[in-house]
Amino acid sequence: MDGTIALVGSGEFTASMDAVDRVLLLATGRERPRVVVLPTASWPDGEETFRRWAAQGEAHFAALGAEVEPVLVRGAEDANDPAAAAAIGEADLVYLSGGKPGHLLDALVEGAVGTALRAAHARGAVIAGCSAGAMVLAGHQLRSGGRSFARFPIGWRDALGLVPGTIVIPHYDAFPEPLAVAIALAAPADTLVLGIDEETALVGRDVAWSVHGRGRVTVWRGRHRDRLHAGDTLHLPGAAGLA
């Protein structure tokens, strides 16, 4: 059975997400879950930033009672590292932290590490992505423009597709909503645009998803907009992931 997925707007590895992360650890069904932290998206910001995210993730989940291993995949050049793929293959929870979504997708779209991530999800492991990590788990991802969030005219790449039929906009409460409207109107047919506020998560498996955290999830279906708050549920036809 496909495992639980968490799409997080921001706040990974901080106390603001403790309650959500405890839910994810519980969803593994393990007394002492094995967690892999994958800080790949932060690599374009430099080695120091990359290692800081790895260390922060390790400390955060260790404090919540997990066995944690940072997997230091920097980019596509590491995509076939057998040790990294093996670590993901043994994980109960894999957490993709934030940074540059295009770089992260380049690293995971091909190679053994991306294959291991998909296989982990298919066997029931929990997969969580924050910010860039959440964008990569969707069905489509905005084409980014260098260091900018999006490139104009608006275009799309196929993402990993663990949550098919969706596009994720993280940090939504810090995002100009007129741009979100433009993205929603340009989205591929039959695709939901999910705007996830900071320190907020959409969590679930199969078609049933629920909102956790302090903020909202904004759902765009073309021109139609819905706002969901903590405890609200969302039906995602054809999606893989959520409880």
Handedness of CA 84, 54, 168, 186 (dihedral sign): negative
Any idea where the domains of the chain sit in the sequence? 5-235
Q: What is the pTM of this model?
A: 0.94
In whole angstroms, give the CA distance from residue 53 to residue 40.
Answer: 9
Residues 46-94 pLDDT 10s: 999 999 999 999 999 999 999 999 999 999 999 999 999 999 999 999 9
Range 5-235 has CATH code 3.40.50.2030: no
Please determine, for residue 109, whether its predicted confidence score (pLDDT) is greater than 60. Answer: yes
Q: What letter does residue 182 receive in the DSSP assignment?
A: H
